Chains A and B, each alone.
Chain A
Amino acid sequence: MAFNSAPKQFGTILLGVAGLGAFVLNLPAAAGRVTLFIGQILQALAPPWYGRNFARQLVEIGFYSLPVVGMTAIFTGMVLALQSYTGFARFSAESAIPNVVVVSITRELGPVLAGLIVAGRVGSAMAAEIGTMRVTEQIDALWALSTNPFRYLVLPRVLAAILVLPLLVLVADIIGVTGGYFIATARLGFHPGTYIQNTWSFLEAQDVISGLVKAAVFGFIIALMGCYHGYKSRGGAAGVGTAATYAVVSASILILISNYLVTELFFAQ
Protein backbone atom coordinates (compact mmCIF):
# COMPACT_ATOMS: atom_id res chain seq x y z
CA MET A 1 0.00 0.00 0.00
CA ALA A 2 1.13 3.52 -0.75
CA PHE A 3 1.15 4.80 2.84
CA ASN A 4 3.23 1.96 4.24
CA SER A 5 6.16 4.29 4.73
CA ALA A 6 4.17 6.80 6.81
CA PRO A 7 4.64 6.70 10.61
CA LYS A 8 2.57 4.03 12.32
CA GLN A 9 -0.12 6.16 13.91
CA PHE A 10 -0.73 7.95 10.61
CA GLY A 11 -1.01 4.59 8.91
CA THR A 12 -3.88 3.57 11.16
CA ILE A 13 -5.67 6.88 10.66
CA LEU A 14 -5.12 6.71 6.93
CA LEU A 15 -6.55 3.19 6.86
CA GLY A 16 -9.77 4.56 8.28
CA VAL A 17 -9.77 7.42 5.80
CA ALA A 18 -9.04 4.99 2.97
CA GLY A 19 -12.00 2.88 4.04
CA LEU A 20 -14.24 5.91 4.05
CA GLY A 21 -12.90 6.94 0.65
CA ALA A 22 -13.51 3.50 -0.80
CA PHE A 23 -17.04 3.59 0.60
CA VAL A 24 -17.74 6.99 -0.99
CA LEU A 25 -16.17 5.97 -4.30
CA ASN A 26 -18.23 2.78 -4.36
CA LEU A 27 -21.51 4.61 -3.76
CA PRO A 28 -22.21 5.63 -7.38
CA ALA A 29 -21.50 2.11 -8.65
CA ALA A 30 -23.73 0.60 -5.98
CA ALA A 31 -26.48 3.10 -6.77
CA GLY A 32 -26.16 2.16 -10.43
CA ARG A 33 -26.48 -1.54 -9.68
CA VAL A 34 -29.52 -0.98 -7.49
CA THR A 35 -31.10 1.14 -10.24
CA LEU A 36 -30.57 -1.65 -12.76
CA PHE A 37 -32.11 -4.04 -10.25
CA ILE A 38 -35.16 -1.78 -9.93
CA GLY A 39 -35.36 -1.73 -13.73
CA GLN A 40 -35.51 -5.52 -13.76
CA ILE A 41 -38.28 -5.46 -11.15
CA LEU A 42 -40.27 -3.00 -13.26
CA GLN A 43 -39.82 -5.20 -16.33
CA ALA A 44 -41.29 -8.07 -14.33
CA LEU A 45 -44.51 -6.07 -13.81
CA ALA A 46 -46.45 -8.28 -16.20
CA PRO A 47 -48.40 -11.51 -15.97
CA PRO A 48 -48.19 -14.24 -14.84
CA TRP A 49 -48.83 -13.03 -11.31
CA TYR A 50 -47.86 -15.26 -8.44
CA GLY A 51 -50.76 -14.63 -6.06
CA ARG A 52 -49.77 -17.40 -3.69
CA ASN A 53 -46.32 -15.97 -3.16
CA PHE A 54 -47.81 -12.52 -2.66
CA ALA A 55 -50.29 -13.78 -0.06
CA ARG A 56 -47.54 -15.69 1.74
CA GLN A 57 -45.45 -12.54 1.94
CA LEU A 58 -48.38 -10.50 3.25
CA VAL A 59 -48.65 -12.94 6.13
CA GLU A 60 -44.89 -13.23 6.58
CA ILE A 61 -44.19 -9.49 6.62
CA GLY A 62 -47.42 -8.22 8.11
CA PHE A 63 -48.98 -10.72 10.41
CA TYR A 64 -45.81 -12.17 11.92
CA SER A 65 -44.39 -8.70 12.54
CA LEU A 66 -47.41 -7.66 14.60
CA PRO A 67 -46.15 -8.86 18.01
CA VAL A 68 -42.75 -7.21 17.80
CA VAL A 69 -44.10 -4.00 16.27
CA GLY A 70 -46.84 -3.91 18.90
CA MET A 71 -44.35 -4.37 21.74
CA THR A 72 -42.15 -1.61 20.37
CA ALA A 73 -45.09 0.73 19.98
CA ILE A 74 -46.63 0.23 23.41
CA PHE A 75 -43.38 0.78 25.31
CA THR A 76 -42.48 3.75 23.16
CA GLY A 77 -45.83 5.37 23.88
CA MET A 78 -45.45 4.66 27.60
CA VAL A 79 -41.94 6.05 27.87
CA LEU A 80 -42.91 9.06 25.79
CA ALA A 81 -45.69 10.02 28.22
CA LEU A 82 -43.43 9.48 31.21
CA GLN A 83 -40.47 11.41 29.80
CA SER A 84 -42.49 14.37 28.57
CA TYR A 85 -44.25 14.54 31.93
CA THR A 86 -41.02 14.84 33.92
CA GLY A 87 -39.73 17.39 31.40
CA PHE A 88 -42.88 19.45 30.99
CA ALA A 89 -43.66 19.53 34.73
CA ARG A 90 -40.70 21.91 35.12
CA PHE A 91 -42.60 24.64 33.33
CA SER A 92 -46.11 23.38 34.13
CA ALA A 93 -46.93 22.30 30.58
CA GLU A 94 -48.21 18.86 31.56
CA SER A 95 -51.41 19.40 29.59
CA ALA A 96 -49.42 19.20 26.34
CA ILE A 97 -48.68 15.52 26.89
CA PRO A 98 -51.55 14.10 24.79
CA ASN A 99 -50.43 16.39 21.98
CA VAL A 100 -46.77 15.37 22.24
CA VAL A 101 -47.60 11.69 22.35
CA VAL A 102 -49.96 11.65 19.38
CA VAL A 103 -47.85 13.87 17.15
CA SER A 104 -44.55 12.09 17.88
CA ILE A 105 -46.03 8.66 17.42
CA THR A 106 -47.93 9.26 14.21
CA ARG A 107 -45.35 11.46 12.51
CA GLU A 108 -42.07 9.91 13.54
CA LEU A 109 -41.80 7.14 16.06
CA GLY A 110 -44.49 4.85 14.67
CA PRO A 111 -43.16 4.69 11.11
CA VAL A 112 -39.44 4.86 11.92
CA LEU A 113 -39.42 2.32 14.72
CA ALA A 114 -41.73 -0.07 12.84
CA GLY A 115 -39.54 0.38 9.75
CA LEU A 116 -36.33 -0.36 11.62
CA ILE A 117 -37.81 -3.34 13.43
CA VAL A 118 -39.25 -4.82 10.24
CA ALA A 119 -35.94 -4.16 8.45
CA GLY A 120 -34.23 -6.28 11.07
CA ARG A 121 -36.84 -8.99 11.06
CA VAL A 122 -37.90 -9.22 7.43
CA GLY A 123 -35.04 -7.66 5.45
CA SER A 124 -32.53 -10.13 6.83
CA ALA A 125 -34.88 -13.06 6.28
CA MET A 126 -35.45 -12.06 2.65
CA ALA A 127 -31.72 -11.68 2.00
CA ALA A 128 -31.00 -15.03 3.64
CA GLU A 129 -33.74 -16.87 1.79
CA ILE A 130 -33.00 -15.45 -1.67
CA GLY A 131 -29.26 -15.63 -0.99
CA THR A 132 -29.52 -19.32 -0.14
CA MET A 133 -31.51 -19.86 -3.33
CA ARG A 134 -28.75 -18.09 -5.24
CA VAL A 135 -25.83 -20.08 -3.84
CA THR A 136 -27.67 -23.41 -4.14
CA GLU A 137 -28.48 -22.71 -7.82
CA GLN A 138 -32.23 -22.48 -7.18
CA ILE A 139 -32.29 -19.09 -8.94
CA ASP A 140 -30.64 -20.71 -11.97
CA ALA A 141 -33.22 -23.49 -11.76
CA LEU A 142 -36.02 -20.90 -11.83
CA TRP A 143 -34.66 -19.37 -15.04
CA ALA A 144 -34.20 -22.86 -16.49
CA LEU A 145 -37.85 -23.66 -15.73
CA SER A 146 -38.96 -20.55 -17.66
CA THR A 147 -39.77 -18.60 -14.52
CA ASN A 148 -38.43 -15.11 -14.03
CA PRO A 149 -37.13 -14.87 -10.44
CA PHE A 150 -37.89 -11.16 -10.39
CA ARG A 151 -41.53 -11.96 -11.05
CA TYR A 152 -41.64 -15.05 -8.85
CA LEU A 153 -39.54 -13.94 -5.85
CA VAL A 154 -38.82 -10.22 -5.87
CA LEU A 155 -42.06 -8.62 -7.03
CA PRO A 156 -44.35 -10.37 -4.50
CA ARG A 157 -42.01 -9.32 -1.68
CA VAL A 158 -41.72 -5.72 -2.81
CA LEU A 159 -45.46 -5.28 -3.41
CA ALA A 160 -46.40 -6.99 -0.16
CA ALA A 161 -43.99 -4.83 1.83
CA ILE A 162 -45.24 -1.60 0.26
CA LEU A 163 -48.82 -2.59 1.05
CA VAL A 164 -48.34 -4.04 4.51
CA LEU A 165 -45.98 -1.56 6.17
CA PRO A 166 -48.60 1.23 6.28
CA LEU A 167 -51.03 -1.20 7.90
CA LEU A 168 -48.42 -2.16 10.48
CA VAL A 169 -47.73 1.50 11.18
CA LEU A 170 -51.43 2.21 11.60
CA VAL A 171 -51.55 -0.53 14.23
CA ALA A 172 -48.37 0.82 15.83
CA ASP A 173 -49.91 4.32 15.98
CA ILE A 174 -52.98 3.05 17.78
CA ILE A 175 -51.03 0.88 20.21
CA GLY A 176 -48.44 3.60 20.86
CA VAL A 177 -51.05 6.23 21.67
CA THR A 178 -52.81 3.71 23.88
CA GLY A 179 -49.55 3.08 25.74
CA GLY A 180 -49.23 6.79 26.43
CA TYR A 181 -52.82 6.90 27.60
CA PHE A 182 -52.23 4.08 30.09
CA ILE A 183 -49.26 5.78 31.71
CA ALA A 184 -50.91 9.21 31.71
CA THR A 185 -54.06 7.97 33.40
CA ALA A 186 -52.63 5.26 35.66
CA ARG A 187 -49.36 6.88 36.75
CA LEU A 188 -49.61 10.58 36.07
CA GLY A 189 -53.11 11.32 37.28
CA PHE A 190 -54.70 12.45 34.02
CA HIS A 191 -58.47 12.23 33.72
CA PRO A 192 -59.23 9.48 31.15
CA GLY A 193 -62.01 11.37 29.40
CA THR A 194 -60.04 14.59 29.10
CA TYR A 195 -56.96 12.77 27.86
CA ILE A 196 -58.90 11.03 25.09
CA GLN A 197 -60.63 14.25 24.18
CA ASN A 198 -57.33 16.13 23.98
CA THR A 199 -55.78 13.36 21.89
CA TRP A 200 -58.67 13.56 19.42
CA SER A 201 -58.52 17.30 19.11
CA PHE A 202 -54.76 17.26 18.46
CA LEU A 203 -54.95 14.41 15.96
CA GLU A 204 -54.46 15.68 12.42
CA ALA A 205 -55.02 13.74 9.23
CA GLN A 206 -51.81 15.05 7.73
CA ASP A 207 -49.72 13.65 10.58
CA VAL A 208 -51.16 10.19 10.11
CA ILE A 209 -50.98 10.34 6.31
CA SER A 210 -47.36 11.46 6.29
CA GLY A 211 -46.57 8.54 8.58
CA LEU A 212 -48.30 6.09 6.27
CA VAL A 213 -46.51 7.46 3.20
CA LYS A 214 -43.25 7.04 5.06
CA ALA A 215 -44.22 3.48 5.89
CA ALA A 216 -44.85 2.64 2.24
CA VAL A 217 -41.45 4.09 1.29
CA PHE A 218 -39.80 2.12 4.09
CA GLY A 219 -41.54 -1.04 2.95
CA PHE A 220 -40.14 -0.57 -0.54
CA ILE A 221 -36.66 0.05 0.85
CA ILE A 222 -36.72 -3.00 3.14
CA ALA A 223 -37.87 -5.43 0.44
CA LEU A 224 -35.59 -3.89 -2.18
CA MET A 225 -32.48 -4.18 0.00
CA GLY A 226 -33.41 -7.68 1.18
CA CYS A 227 -33.97 -8.96 -2.34
CA TYR A 228 -31.03 -7.07 -3.88
CA HIS A 229 -28.42 -8.29 -1.41
CA GLY A 230 -29.86 -11.80 -1.48
CA TYR A 231 -29.91 -11.93 -5.27
CA LYS A 232 -26.34 -10.70 -5.56
CA SER A 233 -24.92 -12.89 -2.83
CA ARG A 234 -22.25 -15.46 -3.61
CA GLY A 235 -19.80 -17.73 -1.89
CA GLY A 236 -21.81 -20.12 0.27
CA ALA A 237 -22.99 -19.70 3.84
CA ALA A 238 -20.63 -16.82 4.62
CA GLY A 239 -21.85 -14.93 1.55
CA VAL A 240 -25.47 -15.38 2.64
CA GLY A 241 -24.62 -14.10 6.12
CA THR A 242 -22.94 -11.02 4.69
CA ALA A 243 -25.94 -10.43 2.44
CA ALA A 244 -28.29 -10.50 5.43
CA THR A 245 -26.11 -8.02 7.32
CA TYR A 246 -25.85 -5.66 4.35
CA ALA A 247 -29.60 -5.87 3.80
CA VAL A 248 -30.36 -4.74 7.36
CA VAL A 249 -27.66 -2.07 7.56
CA SER A 250 -28.38 -0.51 4.17
CA ALA A 251 -32.15 -0.62 4.72
CA SER A 252 -31.80 1.03 8.14
CA ILE A 253 -29.61 3.84 6.81
CA LEU A 254 -31.86 4.41 3.80
CA ILE A 255 -34.90 4.47 6.10
CA LEU A 256 -33.36 7.24 8.21
CA ILE A 257 -32.35 9.25 5.13
CA SER A 258 -35.68 8.87 3.36
CA ASN A 259 -37.47 9.67 6.62
CA TYR A 260 -35.85 13.09 6.53
CA LEU A 261 -36.68 13.58 2.86
CA VAL A 262 -40.35 12.68 3.24
CA THR A 263 -40.64 14.91 6.31
CA GLU A 264 -39.15 17.75 4.29
CA LEU A 265 -41.70 17.05 1.56
CA PHE A 266 -44.67 17.16 3.93
CA PHE A 267 -43.81 19.75 6.50
CA ALA A 268 -41.35 22.20 4.93
CA GLN A 269 -42.76 25.68 4.67
Chain B
Amino acid sequence: MTLETASPTPNSAPEGVANEVEAQDLHLAFGDKRVLNSFSLSLKRGESLVILGRSGTGKSVFLKCLLGLLAVNRGDIFWRGAELGSRSGSGKDEEAPRKSYAELRAQCGMLFQSSALFDSLPVWENVAFGLMAARRISRSEALDIAIARLEEVELPPETAHLFPAELSGGMRKRVGLARAVASEPRLLLFDEPTSGLDPIMTRIIDDLILSSMNRLGASAITVTHDMASAARIANRVALLHGGQIVWHGSSQALEDPQDEALRQFVRGEAQGPLAVRTRAGEQD
Protein backbone atom coordinates (compact mmCIF):
# COMPACT_ATOMS: atom_id res chain seq x y z
CA MET B 1 0.00 0.00 0.00
CA THR B 2 1.31 3.48 -0.77
CA LEU B 3 1.16 6.18 1.81
CA GLU B 4 -0.46 9.30 0.49
CA THR B 5 -1.91 11.79 2.84
CA ALA B 6 -1.57 15.02 0.92
CA SER B 7 -2.85 14.19 -2.55
CA PRO B 8 -6.15 12.37 -2.70
CA THR B 9 -6.05 8.88 -4.15
CA PRO B 10 -9.00 7.55 -6.19
CA ASN B 11 -10.22 5.97 -3.01
CA SER B 12 -10.12 9.05 -0.89
CA ALA B 13 -12.65 11.80 -0.53
CA PRO B 14 -13.30 14.48 -3.10
CA GLU B 15 -11.22 17.65 -2.85
CA GLY B 16 -12.20 19.80 0.09
CA VAL B 17 -13.66 17.06 2.25
CA ALA B 18 -11.36 17.02 5.24
CA ASN B 19 -13.44 14.79 7.48
CA GLU B 20 -12.63 11.11 7.53
CA VAL B 21 -15.78 10.29 9.44
CA GLU B 22 -18.75 12.37 10.39
CA ALA B 23 -21.68 11.21 12.51
CA GLN B 24 -24.73 13.44 12.43
CA ASP B 25 -27.50 13.37 14.98
CA LEU B 26 -27.39 9.65 15.75
CA HIS B 27 -30.17 8.15 17.83
CA LEU B 28 -30.10 4.62 19.11
CA ALA B 29 -32.15 2.87 21.75
CA PHE B 30 -32.26 -0.70 23.03
CA GLY B 31 -35.92 -1.13 23.89
CA ASP B 32 -36.74 2.01 25.83
CA LYS B 33 -33.16 2.49 26.98
CA ARG B 34 -31.78 5.38 24.96
CA VAL B 35 -28.04 5.02 24.43
CA LEU B 36 -27.20 7.51 21.69
CA ASN B 37 -29.31 10.62 21.72
CA SER B 38 -28.55 13.27 19.15
CA PHE B 39 -24.93 12.15 18.98
CA SER B 40 -22.76 14.13 16.56
CA LEU B 41 -19.04 13.80 16.07
CA SER B 42 -16.49 14.29 13.35
CA LEU B 43 -13.01 12.92 12.83
CA LYS B 44 -10.61 14.91 10.66
CA ARG B 45 -8.30 13.21 8.20
CA GLY B 46 -5.14 12.09 9.99
CA GLU B 47 -6.47 13.04 13.38
CA SER B 48 -6.26 10.99 16.56
CA LEU B 49 -9.46 11.39 18.51
CA VAL B 50 -9.97 9.99 21.97
CA ILE B 51 -13.49 9.43 23.25
CA LEU B 52 -13.88 9.59 27.01
CA GLY B 53 -16.98 8.83 28.98
CA ARG B 54 -18.28 6.99 31.96
CA SER B 55 -18.85 3.26 31.77
CA GLY B 56 -22.06 2.37 29.96
CA THR B 57 -22.49 5.67 28.15
CA GLY B 58 -22.34 4.13 24.67
CA LYS B 59 -18.74 4.46 23.52
CA SER B 60 -18.48 0.89 22.28
CA VAL B 61 -21.97 1.14 20.81
CA PHE B 62 -20.90 4.16 18.76
CA LEU B 63 -17.89 2.32 17.33
CA LYS B 64 -20.14 -0.56 16.31
CA CYS B 65 -22.59 1.83 14.66
CA LEU B 66 -19.72 3.34 12.72
CA LEU B 67 -18.86 -0.07 11.26
CA GLY B 68 -22.50 -0.87 10.56
CA LEU B 69 -22.55 -3.67 13.13
CA LEU B 70 -25.43 -1.97 14.94
CA ALA B 71 -28.13 -0.09 13.08
CA VAL B 72 -28.98 3.38 14.35
CA ASN B 73 -32.64 4.35 14.69
CA ARG B 74 -32.04 7.76 13.18
CA GLY B 75 -29.14 9.83 11.90
CA ASP B 76 -26.47 9.58 9.23
CA ILE B 77 -22.86 8.55 9.15
CA PHE B 78 -20.58 9.94 6.46
CA TRP B 79 -17.26 8.49 5.47
CA ARG B 80 -15.01 10.65 3.31
CA GLY B 81 -17.93 12.81 2.36
CA ALA B 82 -20.18 9.93 1.27
CA GLU B 83 -23.15 8.72 3.22
CA LEU B 84 -22.84 5.15 4.43
CA GLY B 85 -25.53 2.67 3.55
CA SER B 86 -25.82 -1.03 2.91
CA ARG B 87 -25.05 -0.45 -0.76
CA SER B 88 -22.89 2.02 -2.61
CA GLY B 89 -24.22 4.25 -5.38
CA SER B 90 -26.20 7.43 -5.24
CA GLY B 91 -28.26 8.27 -2.21
CA LYS B 92 -31.69 9.67 -1.51
CA ASP B 93 -31.18 12.66 -3.76
CA GLU B 94 -29.35 11.58 -6.88
CA GLU B 95 -26.39 13.91 -6.35
CA ALA B 96 -25.27 12.62 -2.95
CA PRO B 97 -22.62 9.92 -3.19
CA ARG B 98 -23.04 6.81 -1.09
CA LYS B 99 -20.60 4.22 0.09
CA SER B 100 -21.28 0.81 1.54
CA TYR B 101 -20.22 -0.39 4.95
CA ALA B 102 -18.31 -3.13 3.14
CA GLU B 103 -16.11 -0.48 1.51
CA LEU B 104 -15.52 1.16 4.88
CA ARG B 105 -14.70 -2.12 6.61
CA ALA B 106 -12.16 -2.99 3.93
CA GLN B 107 -10.16 0.08 4.99
CA CYS B 108 -10.80 -0.04 8.68
CA GLY B 109 -9.17 -1.94 11.51
CA MET B 110 -11.04 -2.41 14.74
CA LEU B 111 -9.93 -3.64 18.14
CA PHE B 112 -12.94 -4.83 20.13
CA GLN B 113 -13.16 -4.15 23.84
CA SER B 114 -13.39 -7.90 24.47
CA SER B 115 -10.63 -8.56 21.88
CA ALA B 116 -13.08 -10.91 20.09
CA LEU B 117 -10.36 -13.27 18.88
CA PHE B 118 -11.50 -16.29 16.88
CA ASP B 119 -10.92 -19.05 19.39
CA SER B 120 -10.96 -21.86 16.85
CA LEU B 121 -7.95 -20.37 15.06
CA PRO B 122 -4.34 -20.12 16.25
CA VAL B 123 -2.99 -16.67 17.06
CA TRP B 124 -1.22 -16.19 13.75
CA GLU B 125 -4.35 -16.94 11.72
CA ASN B 126 -6.20 -14.43 13.87
CA VAL B 127 -3.62 -11.77 13.12
CA ALA B 128 -3.48 -12.52 9.40
CA PHE B 129 -7.23 -13.04 9.02
CA GLY B 130 -7.95 -9.69 7.39
CA LEU B 131 -4.95 -10.03 5.10
CA MET B 132 -6.00 -13.46 3.93
CA ALA B 133 -9.55 -12.22 3.41
CA ALA B 134 -8.47 -9.22 1.36
CA ARG B 135 -5.73 -10.66 -0.82
CA ARG B 136 -4.75 -14.07 -1.98
CA ILE B 137 -1.54 -14.59 -0.09
CA SER B 138 -0.07 -17.97 0.76
CA ARG B 139 -0.36 -19.28 4.29
CA SER B 140 3.40 -19.23 4.85
CA GLU B 141 3.55 -15.61 3.73
CA ALA B 142 0.68 -14.81 6.08
CA LEU B 143 2.48 -16.55 8.93
CA ASP B 144 5.58 -14.41 8.36
CA ILE B 145 3.57 -11.20 8.38
CA ALA B 146 1.69 -12.31 11.48
CA ILE B 147 4.93 -13.01 13.35
CA ALA B 148 6.25 -9.58 12.41
CA ARG B 149 3.02 -7.96 13.65
CA LEU B 150 3.19 -9.93 16.88
CA GLU B 151 6.71 -8.68 17.47
CA GLU B 152 5.44 -5.11 17.31
CA VAL B 153 3.23 -5.83 20.31
CA GLU B 154 6.11 -7.64 22.03
CA LEU B 155 4.76 -11.14 21.62
CA PRO B 156 7.44 -13.74 20.82
CA PRO B 157 7.12 -15.87 17.67
CA GLU B 158 6.16 -18.94 19.76
CA THR B 159 2.83 -17.30 20.57
CA ALA B 160 1.89 -17.50 16.89
CA HIS B 161 0.93 -21.16 17.22
CA LEU B 162 -0.95 -20.92 20.50
CA PHE B 163 -4.71 -20.67 20.65
CA PRO B 164 -6.47 -17.63 22.17
CA ALA B 165 -7.61 -19.69 25.16
CA GLU B 166 -3.95 -20.21 26.08
CA LEU B 167 -3.24 -16.48 26.36
CA SER B 168 -3.59 -14.03 29.23
CA GLY B 169 -6.11 -11.20 28.96
CA GLY B 170 -3.46 -8.64 28.15
CA MET B 171 -1.87 -10.90 25.56
CA ARG B 172 -5.25 -11.34 23.92
CA LYS B 173 -5.65 -7.59 23.78
CA ARG B 174 -2.28 -7.29 22.10
CA VAL B 175 -3.16 -9.97 19.56
CA GLY B 176 -6.40 -8.08 18.87
CA LEU B 177 -4.35 -4.95 18.33
CA ALA B 178 -1.97 -6.73 15.97
CA ARG B 179 -4.99 -8.03 14.06
CA ALA B 180 -6.52 -4.55 13.81
CA VAL B 181 -3.41 -3.00 12.25
CA ALA B 182 -2.28 -6.03 10.22
CA SER B 183 -4.00 -5.11 6.97
CA GLU B 184 -2.66 -1.53 7.15
CA PRO B 185 -6.03 0.20 7.41
CA ARG B 186 -6.56 3.94 6.97
CA LEU B 187 -9.10 4.17 9.75
CA LEU B 188 -8.28 2.68 13.12
CA LEU B 189 -10.85 2.07 15.85
CA PHE B 190 -9.54 1.01 19.23
CA ASP B 191 -11.90 0.14 22.05
CA GLU B 192 -9.87 0.34 25.26
CA PRO B 193 -6.56 -0.83 23.76
CA THR B 194 -4.65 -0.57 27.03
CA SER B 195 -7.13 -1.79 29.62
CA GLY B 196 -5.63 -4.73 31.47
CA LEU B 197 -2.06 -3.91 30.47
CA ASP B 198 0.81 -2.94 32.75
CA PRO B 199 2.16 0.65 32.56
CA ILE B 200 5.17 -0.34 30.48
CA MET B 201 3.07 -2.24 27.99
CA THR B 202 0.57 0.64 27.93
CA ARG B 203 3.39 2.89 26.86
CA ILE B 204 4.44 0.46 24.13
CA ILE B 205 0.89 0.18 22.81
CA ASP B 206 0.46 3.95 22.80
CA ASP B 207 3.63 4.25 20.75
CA LEU B 208 2.42 1.52 18.43
CA ILE B 209 -0.84 3.38 17.86
CA LEU B 210 1.02 6.58 17.08
CA SER B 211 3.57 4.91 14.84
CA SER B 212 1.00 2.96 12.85
CA MET B 213 -0.96 6.17 12.38
CA ASN B 214 2.12 7.93 11.09
CA ARG B 215 3.21 5.05 8.91
CA LEU B 216 -0.19 4.51 7.32
CA GLY B 217 -1.31 8.12 7.37
CA ALA B 218 -4.33 6.80 9.18
CA SER B 219 -6.97 8.45 11.31
CA ALA B 220 -7.91 6.90 14.62
CA ILE B 221 -10.67 6.87 17.20
CA THR B 222 -9.63 5.47 20.54
CA VAL B 223 -11.84 4.81 23.53
CA THR B 224 -9.90 4.74 26.75
CA HIS B 225 -10.26 5.27 30.49
CA ASP B 226 -6.53 5.89 30.91
CA MET B 227 -5.90 9.65 31.12
CA ALA B 228 -2.13 9.43 30.70
CA SER B 229 -2.55 7.35 27.59
CA ALA B 230 -5.25 9.70 26.27
CA ALA B 231 -2.93 12.67 26.70
CA ARG B 232 -0.19 10.84 24.81
CA ILE B 233 -2.12 9.67 21.78
CA ALA B 234 -4.87 12.29 21.29
CA ASN B 235 -4.93 15.37 19.13
CA ARG B 236 -8.47 15.93 20.15
CA VAL B 237 -10.65 14.65 22.97
CA ALA B 238 -14.42 14.22 23.10
CA LEU B 239 -16.47 13.54 26.20
CA LEU B 240 -19.60 11.43 25.85
CA HIS B 241 -22.40 11.74 28.35
CA GLY B 242 -26.14 11.29 28.24
CA GLY B 243 -26.02 9.97 24.69
CA GLN B 244 -24.19 12.91 23.17
CA ILE B 245 -20.80 14.61 23.02
CA VAL B 246 -20.96 17.19 25.80
CA TRP B 247 -17.48 18.58 25.26
CA HIS B 248 -14.72 18.28 22.71
CA GLY B 249 -11.47 20.09 22.22
CA SER B 250 -7.72 19.84 22.12
CA SER B 251 -6.01 17.21 24.25
CA GLN B 252 -4.11 20.00 26.04
CA ALA B 253 -7.29 20.58 28.01
CA LEU B 254 -6.71 17.31 29.85
CA GLU B 255 -3.90 18.90 31.87
CA ASP B 256 -5.92 21.79 33.17
CA PRO B 257 -9.57 21.24 32.30
CA GLN B 258 -11.69 24.39 32.27
CA ASP B 259 -14.93 22.64 31.36
CA GLU B 260 -16.78 21.51 34.46
CA ALA B 261 -17.77 18.09 33.10
CA LEU B 262 -14.30 17.33 31.77
CA ARG B 263 -12.75 18.41 35.07
CA GLN B 264 -15.01 16.09 37.01
CA PHE B 265 -14.16 13.22 34.68
CA VAL B 266 -10.40 13.77 34.62
CA ARG B 267 -10.13 14.25 38.38
CA GLY B 268 -12.57 11.46 39.13
CA GLU B 269 -14.81 13.54 41.40
CA ALA B 270 -18.03 11.99 42.62
CA GLN B 271 -20.06 15.20 42.45
CA GLY B 272 -20.65 17.15 39.26
CA PRO B 273 -22.52 17.32 35.98
CA LEU B 274 -21.67 13.71 35.05
CA ALA B 275 -23.79 12.23 37.82
CA VAL B 276 -25.48 8.94 37.00
CA ARG B 277 -29.13 9.36 36.21
CA THR B 278 -31.00 7.60 38.95
CA ARG B 279 -34.56 7.98 37.77
CA ALA B 280 -35.93 7.53 34.29
CA GLY B 281 -37.30 10.72 32.77
CA GLU B 282 -34.66 13.00 34.23
CA GLN B 283 -33.12 15.36 31.76
CA ASP B 284 -30.34 14.08 29.54
Contact = CB atoms under 8 A, between A and B. Distances in A.
Interface stretch (A93-101, A139-147, A206-214, A251-259): A139-147
Interface size class of A (residues with CB under 8 A): 10 to 19
B67 A141 contact: no
Contacts of A146: 102, 105-106, 130, 133-134
A115 to B, nearest CB: 26
B119 A144 contact: no
B105 A138 contact: no
A183 to B, nearest CB: 43
Interface stretch (B10-18, B110-118, B210-218, B261-269): B110-118
A137 B67 contact: no
Nearest to A56: B120
Contacts of A141: 110, 112, 116-118
A147 B179 CA distance: 14
Contacts, number: 47
Interface residues of B, number: 21
Contacts of B105: 143-146
Contact of A140 (B64, B102, B117, B179): B64
A147 B112 contact: no
Interface string B66-103: 01110000000000000000000000000000000010
Contacts of B119: 136, 138
Contacts of A137: 112, 114, 116
B233 interface: no
B69 A145 contact: no
Interface string A144-156: 1111000000000
A41 to B, nearest CB: 17
A45 B65 CA distance: 27
A147 B116 contact: no
B134 A144 contact: no
Interface in B116-137: 116-120, 129-130, 133-134
Contacts of A129: 120
A138 B116 contact: yes
A145 B67 contact: no
B110 A144 contact: yes
A116 B208 CA distance: 52
A140 B129 contact: no
B147 interface: no
Given A138-B118, A140-B112, A147-B133, 4 more contacts: A140-B69, A141-B117, A145-B129, A145-B179
Interface of B: 64, 67-69, 102, 105-106, 108, 110, 112, 114, 116-120, 129-130, 133-134, 179
